[in-house]
């Protein structure tokens, strides 16, 4: 069993209204040292051992977990402790 950690982020240059809203809220809470906020998804998958694991993970990301038009992704694979 593997734990796959997928990080999905907005591509450079894509506007991030959610990030902007968080930054303004932080500033209103006096955390004005925060210059920029970018919000993405962190997805953990528990995956059984399978042939071509990385190829299938890329397919899952391309088809479902990330929107290739506006998002980038990267992932880390680790042995899962059950």
Task: Report the interface residues with a second copy, using CB under 8 A.
Answer: 1, 7-9, 19, 22, 25-26, 29, 31, 33-50, 56, 59-60, 63-65
Q: Rank residues 33 and 69 by Cβ distance to a second copy and give the closer one.
A: 33
CB of 11 to a second copy, least distance (A): 13
Nearer Cβ to a second copy (11/56): 56
Give the integer Cα–Cα distance in Å for 66 and 60.
9
Distance, in Å, from the CA atom of 35 to the CA atom of 3, rounded to the nearest integer, reads 33
Distance CA 6, CA 41 (A): 8
* Phi-psi region at 30: left, alpha or beta (left = phi > 0; alpha = psi -120 to 50): left
Least distance (Å) from a second copy to the CB of residue 13? 15
**Contact in structure between 82 and 3 (CB atoms under 8 Å):** no
- Cβ distance to a second copy smaller for residue 1 or 69: 1
Please state the closest distance from residue 28 (CB atom) to a second copy, in A: 10
């Amino acid at each position: 069993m593997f734990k796959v950690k997928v990080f999905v982020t907005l591509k450079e240059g894509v506007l991030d209204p959610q990030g902007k809203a968080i930054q303004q809220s932080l500033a209103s809470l006096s955390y004005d040292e925060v210059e920029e906020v970018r919000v993405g998804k962190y997805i953990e998958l528990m995956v059984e051992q399978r042939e071509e694991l990385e190829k299938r993970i890329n397919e899952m990301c391309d088809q479902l977990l990330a929107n290739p038009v506006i998002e980038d992704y990267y992932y880390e694979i680790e042995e899962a402790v059950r």
